[in-house]
Amino acid sequence: MTNNAIAQSVHAHAEAMIAFRRDLHAHPELPWEEVRTTQKVAQALEAIGIPYRLTTPTGVIAEITGGQPGKTVALRADMDALPVQELNEALSYKSKTDGKMHACGHDAHTAMLLTAAKALYENRASLRGNVRLIFQPAEEIAQGAREMVKQGAIEGVDNVFGMHIWTTSPSGKISCNAGSSFASADLLKVKFKGRGGHGSMPEACVDAAVVASAFVMNVQAIVSRETSPLESAVVTIGRMEVGTRFNVIAENAVLDGTVRCFDVATRERIKAAIERYAQHTAAIYGASAEVEYTYGTLPVINEERSARLAQAVVRSAFGEEVLFAEKPTTGGEDFSFYIENIPGCFALLGCGNPEKGTDWAHHHGCFNIDEDVMVKGAELYAQYAWSYLQQDAF
């Protein structure tokens, strides 16, 4: 099921992998700004001897041609950082840019995939097919994967695999369950318009603050009373902008929120219900409503045979005890756009270690990873690709 030579190659490059990750961590770049990161990846691929092409405006697609004909499997890593101030003052590789930080582990993903690429290239004679390497920008704003697909990232690809460092799973454990993994993540904006006026004369006004407040309370019934308890969904209003002064009744209110769920049918039903709740709530008070619903990521649904293959690879490479059944998360992942039309799966690599302080939440200023797990991540990338290509039929 797994290749010992690939494992040896990964271990041989472990020190360089950690150094590469630390360099990226010290120089974080936000979505669509990953110019230095793209150059670093391209230079590394060139040094290995793997042909590649740059995507626009950032990103890299490369390909390893195996020694024997066969299918093509893609491996994906994201590269972008976040607008977060790093709080890890003691790190020698702390972010050098104020207000920017690799607070989600994408630096590790990139370094692990690059190391997997080295191992696969060194053992390419045993590959029965080709390995596509996707170094993707702009995951954090759910735009990068869609753009990479437009630029040919999965043309001719038969299967795709990705993974994410995960601080809520124990360090070194790996999860790749069949079925739901990540939820869809959509953006929501609701604008209410009333009629403003003096705070002492409410009878002459339509208070947008009251309308907006009623909507925030009412809209939760979409989940609690219109969604089956056997389904998962979240409707969150995270921001409300209303009013201008303490003694002025608000004419306008703007609400921003997000919707998360695990299937497209539920997503569409919730979208329609939000429109209905907004319009009817506004009508009760004599106001008007406008809803802007922006589709973000699709749900990440791991194809069963791909997930079973990943689990078999974990057992073979690391042992049964490494497998871990992490619960689905309502977080979003734009890996979903790669598996929209082709089979594939997405794994979680645990790095939560309280003794090392690597159990902080993703996107927190104290986020960091247990670098000891990176060898497993790099090997999982490489062994999944090798194992997939070795199958006579899949």
Distance from C-alpha of 4 to C-alpha of 382, rounded to nearest angstrom: 11
pLDDT for 252-272, tens place per residue? 999 999 999 999 999 999 999
Q: Which residues are catalytic?
A: 80, 139
Residues 112 and 25 in one domain: yes
Segment 270-280 shows an average pLDDT of 98
Residues 240 and 255 in one domain: yes
Residues 259 and 340 in one domain: no
Give the pLDDT score at 1: 72
Q: What's the domain range around 174? A: 4-182+299-390
Residues 58 and 169 in one domain: yes
Segment 41-63 shows an average pLDDT of 98
Residues 169 and 305 in one domain: yes
Segment 142-161 shows an average pLDDT of 97
> What are the CA-CA distances from residue 40 to residues 4, 21, 59, 77, 115 (Å)?
28, 11, 11, 14, 13
pLDDT at 287 over 70: yes
Residues 292 and 280 in one domain: yes
pLDDT at 298 over 70: yes
Give the pLDDT score at 271: 98
Which domain-ending residue is among 297, 317, 333? Answer: 297
pLDDT for 192-214, tens place per residue? 999 999 999 999 999 999 999 99
How many structural domains are present in the chain?
A: 2
Q: Give the global pTM.
A: 0.92
Residues 330 and 281 in one domain: no
Q: Which pLDDT band, with edges at 50, 70 and 90, does 391 fall under?
A: confident
Which domain-ending residue is among 297, 321, 350? Answer: 297
Which domain-ending residue is among 234, 262, 297? Answer: 297
57: domain CATH number? Answer: 3.40.630.10
Give the pLDDT score at 393: 45
Q: What is the 3-state secondary structure (H, E, C) of the chain?
A: CCCHHHHHHHHHCHHHHHHHHHHHHHCCCCCCCCHHHHHHHHHHHHHHCCCEEECCCCCEEEEEECCEEEEEEEEEEECCCECCCCCCCCCCCCCCCCCCECCCCHHHHHHHHHHHHHHHHHCHHHCEEEEEEEEECCCCCCCHHHHHHHCCCCCCCCEEEEEEEEEEEECCCEECCCEEEECEEEEEEEEEECECEECCCHHHCECHHHHHHHHHHHHCHHHHHHCCCCCCEEEEEEEEEECCCCCEECCEEEEEEEEEECCHHHHHHHHHHHHHHHHHHHHHHCCEEEEEEEEEECCEEECHHHHHHHHHHHHHHHCHHHECCCCCECCCCHHHHCCCCCCEEEEEEEEECHHHCCCCCCCCCCCCCCHHHHHHHHHHHHHHHHHHHHCCCC
Lowest mean pLDDT among 62-66, 131-135, 304-308, 328-332: 328-332
Residues 326 and 358 in one domain: yes
Residues 101 and 12 in one domain: yes
pLDDT for 92-146, tens place per residue? 999 999 999 999 999 999 999 999 999 999 999 999 999 999 999 999 999 999 9
Q: 29, 99 in Cβ contact below 8 A? A: no
Average pLDDT along the chain: 96
Residues 73 and 174 in one domain: yes
Q: Which pLDDT band, with edges at 50, 70 and 90, does 392 fall under?
A: low
Percent of residues, the chain, with pLDDT higher than 90: 97
Residues 16 and 153 in one domain: yes
Percent of residues, the chain, with pLDDT higher than 70: 99
pLDDT at 324 over 80: yes
Residues 67 and 177 in one domain: yes
pLDDT at 246 over 90: yes
pLDDT at 18 over 60: yes
